[in-house]
Amino acid sequence: MIDIKFLRENPEAVRENIRRKFRDAKLPLVDEVLKLDEENRACKAEADNLRAERNRSAKAIGALMAQKKIDEANEMKRRAAEAGDRLAALEQKEDELAEAIRVRMMAIPNIIDKSVPIGRSDAENVEVQRYGEPTVPDFEIPYHTEIMERFEGIDLDAARRVAGNGFYYLLGDIARLHSAVISYARDFMIDRGFTYCVPPFMIRSDVVTGVMSFAEMDAMMYKIEGEDLYLIGTSEHSMIGRFIDTIIPEEKLPLTLTSYSPCFRKEKGAHGIEERGVYRIHQFEKQEMIVVCRPEESPMWFDRLWQNTVDLFRSMDIPVRTLECCSGDLADLKVKSVDVEAWSPRQQKYFEVGSCSNLGDAQARRLKIRVNGKDGKYLAHTLNNTVVAPPRMLIAFLENNLQADGSVRIPEVLRPYMGGKECLVPKR
């Protein structure tokens, strides 16, 4: 959410930003906010005048009563009562106008960074760099669920009977591999100086609307019936929510945290052949990283965060690339975003395994996350990035480490988490 003062002083810049994101349907919101803001400020000014007049009247009435000028005092009391009724109406109107402005401001996209490429959709995202050599072996690589089934490591049929589509049972070595990757990712981030955290897996609605747009909320979040609680779609939500309505001493910044959680997502509108198996699911686990920092430091932390994911995947011998997200692919709160994609030898293309985002002060403004600096209070910047999110990551892992005999090689960094195993041998 942008600063209303910025919109008031730079309405055309806000309109141009909306056009760059190809959200032209949101252009009327700018004029609506300006009109409501003008009305609200006039309302506040009248209310302030009435409050000042009420204070003056109270003193005058007291003086008149002391002078035994009862009729004049009663007349002034009558006028003061009328002013009080008007003030009450104005205060109610202020609340209504403030809410109307807030709803519209939350729908206006954040100002994107000047370096963001302009494009309508993810088809126009720009490749930045490749890490590792993508290879295609001289033997056929089965679909990832077929690989897992050879290890008796997945049961989708039972999961459908228990919970429906989009769920899974992981078993045996595959389940252990899943947990090993999470544990390795946790220690990887701790070694890089991040503080490990396990957050709440449910959050209240004021946190939900503080960390994401209404459109994202509708497409992702599961609501707990009868309670003001939502299941988290990523631990970033509750991790950033931890600082709601707080003032952080500047000397404590940056806050660098890595968190584990299960994640729950509706995946509304997800379709396509590559969404079979465990590619796009309603429940998964993830290791996340978040940073709360000074505004001038957020570009530096942005580059550090996505590099962490690249380094993690390369340490497991998985080729990856980074993609700069274009303007039309950025969610409304994001200033800048880079996706990390892993190489799929079976598909002979890359697919997303992580996303790094700089949200500027948008989340901090919504959640009132302030910093107490030497020159006064200011809004923090927040960033987040996926460390690793199995079981999707297992697709890349299994395909890139599959051997011609059907075994799966375990990279050296994972062996301590797999009981020292150097490879997995299929049971079928």
The model's pTM is 0.89
Strand segments, DSSP code E, in 173-275 are 195-197, 202-203, 222-223, 230-231, 246-249, 255-264
Read off the pLDDT of residues 324-338 as tens digits, 9 standing for 90 and up.
999 999 999 999 999
Q: Give me the pLDDT at residue 269, please.
A: 55
Instruction: Report yes or no: 146 and 136 within 8 Å, Cβ to Cβ.
Output: no
11 three-state secondary structure: helix
**Tokens read off for 192:** 């890089």
CA distance 302 to 307: 9
Query: Parallel, antiparallel, or unpaired: how do β-strands 255-264 and 195-197 relate?
Result: parallel
CA distance 307 to 199: 24
Q: Give me the pLDDT at residue 274, please.
A: 46
Ranges of residues in the chain whose predicted pLDDT is under 50: 271-274
Instruction: Report yes or no: 32 and 104 within 8 Å, Cβ to Cβ.
Output: yes
Domain covering 4-107: architecture: Orthogonal Bundle (1.10)
Q: Domain extents for the chain?
A: 4-107, 122-424
Q: Give me the pLDDT at residue 87, please.
A: 82
CA distance 365 to 378: 10
Query: How does DSSP classify residue 330?
Result: S
Q: Give me the pLDDT at residue 276, please.
A: 67
Read off the pLDDT of residues 277-291 as tens digits, 9 standing for 90 and up.
888 889 999 999 999
Tell which phi-psi region holds residue 416, choosing left (phi > 0), alpha (psi between -120 and 50) or beta: alpha
User: φ, ψ for residue 135 (rounded to 5)?
Assistant: -125, 155
Domain covering 122-424: architecture: 2-Layer Sandwich (3.30)
